[in-house]
Protein backbone atom coordinates (compact mmCIF):
# COMPACT_ATOMS: atom_id res chain seq x y z
CA UNK A 1 0.00 0.00 0.00
CA UNK A 2 2.40 2.69 -1.16
CA UNK A 3 -0.50 4.98 -2.01
CA UNK A 4 -1.41 5.47 1.66
CA UNK A 5 2.07 6.76 2.52
CA UNK A 6 1.21 10.01 0.77
CA UNK A 7 -0.67 12.38 3.13
CA UNK A 8 -2.82 13.71 0.29
CA UNK A 9 -3.96 10.19 -0.56
CA UNK A 10 -4.85 9.51 3.06
CA UNK A 11 -6.75 12.80 3.22
CA UNK A 12 -8.58 11.93 0.01
CA UNK A 13 -9.62 8.57 1.48
CA UNK A 14 -10.89 10.25 4.67
CA UNK A 15 -12.81 12.77 2.52
CA UNK A 16 -14.44 9.91 0.60
CA UNK A 17 -15.50 8.13 3.79
CA UNK A 18 -16.74 11.35 5.41
CA UNK A 19 -18.74 12.26 2.31
CA UNK A 20 -20.26 8.78 2.24
CA UNK A 21 -21.31 9.10 5.87
CA UNK A 22 -23.00 12.47 5.35
CA UNK A 23 -24.66 11.21 2.17
CA UNK A 24 -25.98 8.19 4.08
CA UNK A 25 -27.30 10.35 6.91
CA UNK A 26 -29.13 12.47 4.35
CA UNK A 27 -30.55 9.48 2.49
CA UNK A 28 -31.96 7.77 5.57
CA UNK A 29 -33.47 11.05 6.67
CA UNK A 30 -31.51 11.34 9.89
CA UNK A 31 -33.06 14.11 11.90
CA UNK A 32 -32.45 15.69 15.23
CA UNK A 33 -29.75 17.74 16.82
CA UNK A 34 -27.25 14.89 17.06
CA UNK A 35 -27.41 14.17 13.32
CA UNK A 36 -27.10 17.86 12.43
CA UNK A 37 -24.15 18.39 14.76
CA UNK A 38 -22.49 15.22 13.43
CA UNK A 39 -22.82 16.48 9.86
CA UNK A 40 -21.40 19.88 10.83
CA UNK A 41 -18.45 18.26 12.61
CA UNK A 42 -17.79 16.08 9.57
CA UNK A 43 -17.95 19.16 7.32
CA UNK A 44 -15.48 20.94 9.62
CA UNK A 45 -13.05 18.02 9.50
CA UNK A 46 -13.36 17.86 5.71
CA UNK A 47 -12.71 21.59 5.41
CA UNK A 48 -9.65 21.33 7.61
CA UNK A 49 -8.28 18.45 5.56
CA UNK A 50 -8.73 20.45 2.37
CA UNK A 51 -7.00 23.47 3.91
CA UNK A 52 -4.07 21.54 5.32
CA UNK A 53 -3.45 18.86 2.72
CA UNK A 54 -4.83 20.02 -0.62
CA UNK A 55 -4.07 23.72 -0.20
CA UNK A 56 -0.74 22.58 1.30
CA UNK A 57 -0.95 24.85 4.32
CA UNK A 58 0.25 22.23 6.78
CA UNK A 59 3.80 23.59 6.43
CA UNK A 60 2.77 27.17 5.66
CA UNK A 61 3.50 30.13 7.94
CA UNK A 62 1.31 30.26 11.04
CA UNK A 63 -0.44 33.42 9.91
CA UNK A 64 -1.91 31.74 6.81
CA UNK A 65 -2.97 28.67 8.75
CA UNK A 66 -4.51 30.81 11.50
CA UNK A 67 -6.42 32.92 8.98
CA UNK A 68 -7.90 29.99 7.09
CA UNK A 69 -8.56 27.79 10.09
CA UNK A 70 -10.03 30.77 11.93
CA UNK A 71 -12.33 31.43 8.97
CA UNK A 72 -13.42 27.78 9.04
CA UNK A 73 -14.09 27.93 12.78
CA UNK A 74 -16.04 31.18 12.38
CA UNK A 75 -18.23 29.88 9.56
CA UNK A 76 -18.87 26.57 11.32
CA UNK A 77 -19.75 28.36 14.55
CA UNK A 78 -22.14 30.72 12.78
CA UNK A 79 -23.91 27.82 11.08
CA UNK A 80 -24.22 26.01 14.41
CA UNK A 81 -25.48 29.20 16.06
CA UNK A 82 -28.08 29.70 13.32
CA UNK A 83 -29.26 26.11 13.81
CA UNK A 84 -29.44 26.58 17.58
CA UNK A 85 -31.44 29.80 17.18
CA UNK A 86 -33.84 28.05 14.79
CA UNK A 87 -34.67 25.53 17.52
CA UNK A 88 -35.99 28.26 19.83
Per residue in 5-54, pLDDT (tens digit) is 888 889 999 999 999 999 998 888 877 888 888 999 999 999 999 999 98
Q: What are phi and psi of 31, to 5 degrees?
A: -130, 170
Residue 33: its pLDDT value, please?
Answer: 85
pTM of the predicted model as reported, rounded to 2 decimal places: 0.84
Amino acid sequence: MNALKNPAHRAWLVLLVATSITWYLGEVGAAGTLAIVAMLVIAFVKGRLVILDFMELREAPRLWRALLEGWLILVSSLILLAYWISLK
